[in-house]
Amino acid sequence: MNVRFDHIDPRELRDACGAFATGVTVISTRTADGDHGMTANAFMSVSLDPPMIAISLDRKCRLLDKVRASGRYAVSILSDEMEKLAMHFAGRFDPDHADPFVETDGMPVVPGAASVFVCDVAQDVEAGDHVLFIGQVTRLERATEARPLLFHGGKFGGLAD
């Protein structure tokens, strides 16, 4: 059965997806012109063996071409104390975060993140107005006591005690 979905409003789809609580990440990469990062919640585990994760980047975002040029990316899962850093990477410059990265395995990552993944791009998949980057995880770090920063319905939050 061939069903068309032309009647689904993009804003309604976005709002409906916003009913799903997600973690908050900073996706980063390094190119010849420096370190680059952005806040995103489009992140998922793909495979345990081999270890792979995926990110989804809008075709219009500046980071897309940077990840393609680098062939690598890092994902830093933010802890519940990092809301201001999330806003910084979402485009609201905060001078307290003017130098936000440390280096792990040659990639810029957020210090103190709940988890960090460093990946080599294994595949990129064109998917509508986004590109999925499936990454082979080459390095993993985890702060076992960190509590994740959450995002739901357009607002940040945390886990209940």
Domains of the chain: 22-152 (2.30.110.10)
- Predicted local distance difference test score (pLDDT) of residue 121: 98
- Predicted local distance difference test score (pLDDT) of residue 58: 94
- Predicted local distance difference test score (pLDDT) of residue 94: 83
What are the Cα distances from residue 23, in Å, to 4, 20, 28, 129, 159?
A: 31, 10, 16, 22, 11
Q: What is the pLDDT along the chain (161 residues), one digit of tens a residue?
A: 444 566 778 788 777 777 777 899 999 999 999 999 999 988 999 999 999 999 999 999 999 999 999 999 999 999 999 999 999 999 888 888 888 899 999 999 999 999 999 999 999 999 999 999 999 999 999 999 999 999 888 888 888 77
d(CA 49, CA 118): 16
Per the structure block, which two tokens stand in for 42? 């489009």
